[in-house]
Structure 1
Amino acid sequence: MNLSSISSHIPSTQPQWVKRFARLGLVAKGVVYCLVGILAFMAAFEIGGSTERNVNKQGVFRFILDQPFGQILLALVAVGLVCYALWRLTQAFLDNEHKGTDAKGIGRRVGYAFSGLVYGFLAYGSFRMVLGSRGSQGGGNSRQTLVREILQKPYGQWLVGLIGLCIIGIGLYQIYRAWSGKYLKNVQTSSIKTELKEMIIRSGKIGYIARGIVWGLIGYLFIKAAMESNASEVGGSSSAFAFLEKVSYGSFLLGAVALGLFCYGIYMFVRARYEVINTNS
């Protein structure tokens, strides 16, 4: 993939356009993660009849839709997710972050592109709900269908296992970003009020660790599916939450992770306010 040649055919970005999209996108992402955290916490302690099986981003969209003026609220979130997706794709193809074209830089830009596609897909799903489709639990089913097809191929188990290891690697990288402080790299912490700075920094660290744990559990489920040659073992965040719920002190573990994801959502609001958005390609 030659990202440089692709970017040469894309018009130059308008700085304010990029900044506004980035900030709106981060706010929308923050809303989604805060709600995921709240719903997961409710599921952990069986508050309001919530179950971990329904706690995923599609479940969040359904929750928003069920609120007063739900269609308007969900439409606003969907627009924000589109903004986030476009910002990530801009980073990937126009290299606003100046990652370059060496192996490391290409890897980061491919990661931006992947993130953009994922959130673009989420935005599409949320717009469908706004227009009348209630959606379904199909995210896990489509994932399992794909894995089932891979398992039927030669070396399919190895490939599914490799996917699981890559997902675990993403989770470990999230935790590494938390412990190393790299999650603060582009955030102007000097502009944050002193009395709030420590709390915000801590919330970001906890949030990235919680997100890393969820990624790691999802990767483990892929490896388990590969080892047992059973696609039904594969799942997303709701399956990761269900796995946590089943272990000893599962409700408390799930509750802790839920609070961490809520912290991650709060930190997205901080990024929306204080992050330096690079716009020059």
Structure 2
Amino acid sequence: MAPSMSSTGKSAARSAQGSKTLELLARAGYAMSGVLHLVIGVLAVQVATGSASSEEASQTGALAAVAETPGGTALLWFAVVAFAALGLWQVTVALSGALETSDRLKAAGKAVVYVALGVLAVQVVSGASSGSGQEESFTARLMQSPGGTLLVGAVGVGVVVTGVYHVVKGWKKKFLEDLRGGTSGHVGRAVVQLGRVGYIAKGVALGVLGALFVVAAVQNDPEQAGGLDAAFATIVEQPFGVVLLVAVGLGFAAYGLYSFARARYARM
């Protein structure tokens, strides 16, 4: 009897997980995520202090900033490979069948995120990224389609839930389940604190981002939606927004530093 697609997929996943090269590149993907979050954190602080526009504080803006540094183009091409490898690794986790269904779904979601980051890096390094307004134009097209408004609202709710999940994961230090060793001693305690602050700060930003999508759906106004740049702009406009955005920016930087530790100690 010919093997089923399910068994074939599991076999391919186990084979891929046995590749040391893929594991090494996947770990490099966590490190590149660290670079990205560090740059976003710096840009967020600059937005809060008025030394940068909110349009610059996005994933696209962060990748563009990396590209402008010496050797930045080569680093971005490496990021493309690393994000693709990390995305593929998450696919193998989702297909392996060794985890609960919820964990496999989370792995599939992470795969989409990392592959999307790789695609975005390709667009930036090749000059094909449209920069600011990209999210708004996509949301506008989506809302014009049948059921598009409901879908945008559902995406917003999903992002808010993801933000809450990040806050809870950081507060309860559940991210330690993603690590293997490396959390003892002074360095280990620093990693724990960086992860805790980083997850909470990222959760706050994601919560604001999701809320913007919900508002866009309720008001049927795609201009209300946006990316991280719009979320940061919304935060800084609130009472004590400058202080809050500086805290969020420092939190993103903390998440970036935590990601470097995760590259070394992640359970793979």
One-letter amino acid of the structure 1 residue matched with residue 153 of structure 2: G
Which one of the candidate residues 184, 187, 194 is aligned to 2:185?
194
> Once the two structures are superposed, what CA deviation does each residue of 1:22-63 show, in whole Å capped at 9, x if it has no partner?
21111111111111111111111123xx11222111111111
Q: CA deviation at 1:8?
A: 4.1
Which one of the candidate residues 118, 124, 137 is aligned to 1:123?
118
How far apart are the structure 2 equivalents of 1:28 and 1:162? Answer: 30
* 1:140 matches 2:127: no
Kindly indicate whether the alpha-carbon contact (under 8 Å) linking 1:143 and 1:234 is maintained by their aligned counterparts in 2: no
- Matched residue pairs, number? 263
* 1:25 matches 2:29: yes
Kindly indicate whether the alpha-carbon contact (under 8 Å) linking 2:208 and 2:231 is maintained by their aligned counterparts in 1: yes
How far apart are the structure 2 equivalents of 1:134 and 1:166? Answer: 25
How far apart are the structure 1 equivalents of 2:225 and 2:126? Answer: 30
Q: CA deviation at 1:134?
A: 5.8
> Once the two structures are superposed, what CA deviation does each residue of 1:111-167 show, in whole Å capped at 9, x if it has no partner?
3223222321221232233335464325313432344224xx35x544433322221
How far apart are the structure 2 equivalents of 1:94 and 1:146? Answer: 36
Kindly indicate whether the alpha-carbon contact (under 8 Å) linking 2:45 and 2:250 is maintained by their aligned counterparts in 1: yes
Identify the residue that residue 219 of structure 1 maps to in structure 2: 210
Query: Mean alpha-carbon deviation: is it higher for 220-229 or for 252-261?
Result: 220-229
> Once the two structures are superposed, what CA deviation does each residue of 1:187-233 show, in whole Å capped at 9, x if it has no partner?
134x3451222222111001001111111111111111122111111
Q: Which 5+ residue runs of structure 2 have no aligned equivalent? A: none
Query: Mean alpha-carbon deviation: is it higher for 61-70 or for 111-120?
Result: 111-120
Q: Write the mapping of 1:225-236 to structure 2, written as runs, cut at 5 A.
A: 225-236=216-227
> Once the two structures are superposed, what CA deviation does each residue of 1:169-203 show, in whole Å capped at 9, x if it has no partner?
111111111122210013134x3451222222111
Identify the residue that residue 90 of structure 2 maps to in structure 1: 88
* 4+ runs deviating over 6 angstroms: none
How far apart are the structure 2 equivalents of 1:242 and 1:212? Answer: 16
Query: Mean alpha-carbon deviation: is it higher for 51-60 or for 72-81?
Result: 72-81
One-letter amino acid of the structure 2 residue matched with residue 64 of structure 1: V
Which one of the candidate residues 44, 54, 60 is aligned to 2:62?
60
Kindly indicate whether the alpha-carbon contact (under 8 Å) linking 2:25 and 2:81 is maintained by their aligned counterparts in 1: no
Q: Which 5+ residue runs of structure 1 have no aligned equivalent? A: none
Matched residue of 1:235: which SS? Answer: coil
Identity of aligned residues (%): 28
* 1:184 matches 2:179: no
Matched residue of 1:185: which SS? Answer: helix
How far apart are the structure 1 equivalents of 2:193 and 2:167? Answer: 13
How far apart are the structure 2 equivalents of 1:132 and 1:165? Answer: 32
How far apart are the structure 1 equivalents of 2:41 and 2:5? Answer: 36
* 1:251 matches 2:242: yes
Let me know the Cα RMSD of the aligned residues.
2.3
Kindly indicate whether the alpha-carbon contact (under 8 Å) linking 1:62 and 1:134 is maintained by their aligned counterparts in 2: no
Q: CA deviation at 1:261?
A: 0.7
Identify the residue that residue 99 of structure 1 maps to in structure 2: 99
Identify the residue that residue 274 of structure 1 maps to in structure 2: 265
How far apart are the structure 2 equivalents of 1:45 and 1:38? Answer: 11
Query: Mean alpha-carbon deviation: is it higher for 13-22 or for 222-231?
Result: 13-22
